[in-house]
Structure 1
Amino acid sequence: MPTADRTAVVLPSLDGLSTLASDVNGPGVVTGSARLASGYWHAVRWVDGRIEDLGTLGGLNSQAEAIDEQGRIVGTSQDSEGRRHAVAWVDGRIQDLGLTGGIFSIAYDTAGDRVVGVYHVTDSFSGRRAFVRTGATEITIDVPPGASATAVNEAGTVAGTYGWQDWDDPAPDDYQAFVWRDGVTRPLGTLGGATSTANGINDLGHVVGTSWTTDGVFAAFYWDGSTMRRLATTADSPTAQAVNDSGLVIGTDGHGGRAMIWPNPSATSQLLPLPSGAVGSRAINVNDQGLIVGQADYLSPSWHGRAVVWR
């Protein structure tokens, strides 16, 4: 598989070795999480390459999942009692979005005035519920249980997956990728197999994710608003994680543990270069300028991951 003409830049950490970059916005502000010397994790952002600790709701851990074009960051944080709340950071200050009626919650994405995520009514896959919050108004997306809302675009279209089940559930797996907007849900189908998962959406409403095929292969897909098609790659068990408005798709070779891209949905995948000393990588998000963020893996001095930007 050819290697893309990109440069991998490792971002600075806090007191601990490990970091993870989860998203980047148009102005190039990166957000993610960093391990402290204590072993706990805090949400962080990198501005012009400098790392900033975003803190918590008073608990030990926090995690940033996404950043919008205005710089609002969303994710989850523990409170002083250890409960995980969906949160937002605006101008560096944390805002509690609440438990949203469950036992814990996570905000996974934000765009415009919307935040989407997941809350749990029970500590199980089947207890997952997907929510969308517009301003101060929050609703539960009306789809089957075991649901996740993982991405939202500027138009308010949400991408997610419903039907997640616990490992001991006797029913066969039947989780399905969907899009939702203004109360209307549209399942995306599969590549011929039983299940599919939606991971990312762009402002054109195009969705990427993974699906099982008719012959039992785990494959990456691109959905153009009407049709799901398989992304071309020689990788085994690939994932498509995000897509920008230019059609650049990013993801990871599942078995090989290498971040990769599809320059457009009709192209064959290319590996992203590894930073010096790294043994593996994951691509997690991309902005409309083509800046890609994720994580590289290292074995020395012990196994750890570091946040990476591919330019």
Structure 2
Amino acid sequence: MLKISLLPLALALSLCSAGAAAKVQQLPGFAANSKEASIAVDINANGQVAAVIEDEDGKQRAVLYDKGVLELGTLGGSDSYTKGINDDGVVVGSAQDGKGHWRAFLVRKGERMRDLGTLGGGSSYGTAVNASGQAAGFADTADGYFRAFVLDAQGRMVDLGTLGGNISYASGINNSGVVVGTAALPDGYRRAFIHRPGAGMTDLGTLGGRSSAATGVNDAGMVVGASEMPNRRWHAFLHDGSKMVDLGALIGYGNSYATGINAAGHVVGTILIGDERRSFVYRDGKMAVHQAGKGLYLTNAINDEEIVAGATYLSKRYAAATMRSDMVPVVPKGHREFMGMMTMAVGTAVALMLLRRRYRGIALARY
């Protein structure tokens, strides 16, 4: 493992904790090589960040930021990327093995990367980890289909099944072992699901469209993700345990996707308006939208200390960065009426795109 000495990460986090007037903070060291791109994927309560660096040739490296940059290596192949981190600094993600297969991994700082295996096929992808180190993700089965998995007490993969179709993907897990993700129906459309230990998989429905996808869950069982609408647009949602709340309606335009939630139920996500991207934070019943270039260009996670992790986009390059969830957005010209309103208060292919590209680290910026 290669350790690169940097300014303490705590310095960057302290700079963006001065209150609502704080600015987006690029994490130390990310600007060292202008030919590389980087994205902060997840952040824990201690300010440790799971991230991905991509070089100019497209090679991806899983890294942990904790008072410096620690490259986590691979499982014998050339590439790796992270997807989550728990408060003990255990990182989950995917890495190539010597045969070029992607394999889900867990790794603790200072220890070797652990291959989590598969469900009988050649590949697996780790997507989330809880406080006890229990991982979730998806893996190939012997018949070639991806299935959502969770690790049991012995560290073995358990196939979580589907909603009647052939495919499922897990994307989040809470400290009670509740897993969320997306699973195929018999007709091939895909739905957000929640899987509770001993209770099986439940379809969370949609906001009126054909498909939905879940991306995260907190310990209260609140689920976030995105749902197709009747007009085929996509809206971010928050499922409060009984119903799906349309967060996209509070934004009022574009396609929106919720990507993270913290213990307080605060939600972060991304808005796509043609080729333009904005980020949003939903907290305490209010929606704040950050214009491209004035907030994080994309968001991936929010921790319980209200730090949002993601990336900026400067000089045609993604750079890992953080911001406070209560940072005051800069109102775009011509959109003041939208901001007043907001602060008051996929087809199958699209669903697969939302999931698969989200699992590809840097590729999230391209979905």
Q: Does TM-score exceed 0.5, indicating one fold? A: yes
Which residue of structure 1 lines up, in the alignment, with residue 321 of structure 2?
A: 308
Q: What CA distance in whole angstroms lies between the structure 2 residues aligned with 1:155 and 1:272?
A: 36
Which amino acid in the other structure matches residue 134 of structure 2?
R
Deviations 1:87-137 (A, max 9, x none): 11112321111233222111000002310001124898xx22110003413
| Distance change (3 Å), C-alpha of 1:216 and 1:78 | closer
Which residue of structure 2 lines up, in the alignment, with residue 248 of structure 1?
A: 266
Q: What CA distance in whole angstroms lies between the structure 1 residues aligned with 2:123 and 2:22?
A: 39
Q: In the TM superposition, what are the counterparts of 1:251-262 in structure 2 within 5 Å?
A: 251-255=269-273, 256-262=276-282
Indicate yes or no: 2:302 matched with 1:286.
yes
Q: What CA distance in whole angstroms lies between the structure 2 residues aligned with 1:224 and 1:64?
A: 28
Per the TM alignment, residue 270 of structure 1 is displaced from its structure 2 partner at its CA by: 2.3
| Distance change (3 Å), C-alpha of 1:133 and 1:205 | same
The alignment covers a number of residue pairs equal to 292
Deviations 1:156-196 (A, max 9, x none): 100110018xxxxxx96521001001142111111111111
Q: What CA distance in whole angstroms lies between the structure 2 residues aligned with 1:85 and 1:216?
A: 34
Give unmatched runs, 5+ long, in structure 2: 1-19, 325-367
- 1:61 is paired with a residue whose SS is strand
Q: What CA distance in whole angstroms lies between the structure 2 residues aligned with 1:79 and 1:133?
A: 20
Per the TM alignment, residue 28 of structure 1 is displaced from its structure 2 partner at its CA by: 0.7
Indicate yes or no: 2:257 matched with 1:239.
yes
Runs of 4+ in structure 1 displaced over 4 angstroms? Answer: 36-39
| 8 A contact 1:114–1:133 mirrored in 2 | yes
| 8 A contact 1:173–1:195 mirrored in 2 | no
Matched residues, percent identical? 29
Q: What CA distance in whole angstroms lies between the structure 1 residues aligned with 2:228 and 2:220?
A: 25
| Distance change (3 Å), C-alpha of 1:47 and 1:273 | farther
Which residue of structure 1 lines up, in the alignment, with residue 150 of structure 2?
A: 132
Residue 296 of structure 1 is aligned with which of 308, 312, 317? 312
| 8 A contact 1:84–1:99 mirrored in 2 | no
Indicate yes or no: 2:196 matched with 1:181.
yes
| 8 A contact 1:18–1:35 mirrored in 2 | yes
- Mean Cα displacement is larger for which, 90-99 or 244-253? 90-99
Which residue of structure 1 lines up, in the alignment, with residue 171 of structure 2?
A: 150
Which residue of structure 2 lines up, in the alignment, with residue 225 of structure 1?
A: 241
Q: What CA distance in whole angstroms lies between the structure 2 residues aligned with 1:272 and 1:86?
A: 35
- Mean Cα displacement is larger for which, 253-262 or 29-38? 29-38
| 8 A contact 1:243–1:250 mirrored in 2 | yes
Q: What CA distance in whole angstroms lies between the structure 2 residues aligned with 1:310 and 1:173?
A: 38
- Mean Cα displacement is larger for which, 10-19 or 205-214? 10-19
Deviations 1:263-294 (A, max 9, x none): 23x3233217736xx9x711011111111111
Structure richer in helix, relative to its length: 2
Q: What CA distance in whole angstroms lies between the structure 1 residues aligned with 2:217 and 2:234?
A: 20
Deviations 1:41-91 (A, max 9, x none): 11001113x222111112110111100111100101111221111111112
Structure richer in strand, relative to its length: 1
TM-score, length of structure 1 as denominator length: 0.86
Q: What CA distance in whole angstroms lies between the structure 2 residues aligned with 1:123 and 1:134?
A: 22
Which residue of structure 1 lines up, in the alignment, with residue 223 of structure 2?
A: 207
Q: What CA distance in whole angstroms lies between the structure 2 residues aligned with 1:19 and 1:99?
A: 28
Which residue of structure 1 lines up, in the alignment, with residue 52 of structure 2?
A: 33
Q: In the TM superposition, what are the counterparts of 1:38-57 in structure 2 within 5 Å?
A: 39-48=58-67, 50-57=68-75
| Distance change (3 Å), C-alpha of 1:62 and 1:236 | same
Give unmatched runs, 5+ long, in structure 1: 165-170
Which residue of structure 2 lines up, in the alignment, with residue 270 of structure 1?
A: 289
Q: In the TM superposition, what are the counterparts of 1:78-117 in structure 2 within 5 Å?
A: 78-93=96-111, 94-111=113-130, 112-117=132-137
Which amino acid in the other structure matches residue 104 of structure 2?
A
| Distance change (3 Å), C-alpha of 1:211 and 1:95 | same
Which amino acid in the other structure matches residue 209 of structure 1?
G
| Distance change (3 Å), C-alpha of 1:233 and 1:60 | same
TM-score, length of structure 2 as denominator length: 0.74
